[in-house]
Amino acid sequence: MVGAIWHKKRIISVGNPHERFHEDALRMMRALRFVSQLDFELDQETFDSLKENAQNISEIAVERILVEFEKLAAGSHKIKAFSLLLESGLYQYLPLFSNKKII
């Protein structure tokens, strides 16, 4: 469990999403991976918190981020997940995309 509950194909943070993402910032990547693999939607409060806490992913080991990124990229709904990755700004803090400008 990534600190989220699945209700009606929605990823909803258990408790305060800010606290969950501060406890383990990799949960943000896992949430997007579940969008990609399971075609789930992100709860708006959870997504807003993901956007606000995106910079915290830079504290996570590159290897752990890469594992989640590869799973996200292999998902059947990866376009949806990549769209959220871009919209949230999380991509800016991923090692491969840091210092890159996406149009």
- 102 phi/psi in degrees, rounded to 5: -100, 130
DSSP secondary structure string for all residues of 42-65: EPHHHHHHHHHHGGGGGGS-HHHH
For residue 28, is pLDDT > 60?
yes
Which tens digit of pLDDT belongs to each residue from 54-78? Answer: 999 999 999 999 999 999 999 999 9
Predicted confidence (pLDDT) per residue in 74-91, tens digit: 999 999 999 999 999 999
Q: Whose structure tokens read 């406890």?
A: 23
Task: For the chain, list the domains and their CATH numbers.
Answer: 4-93 (1.10.110.30)
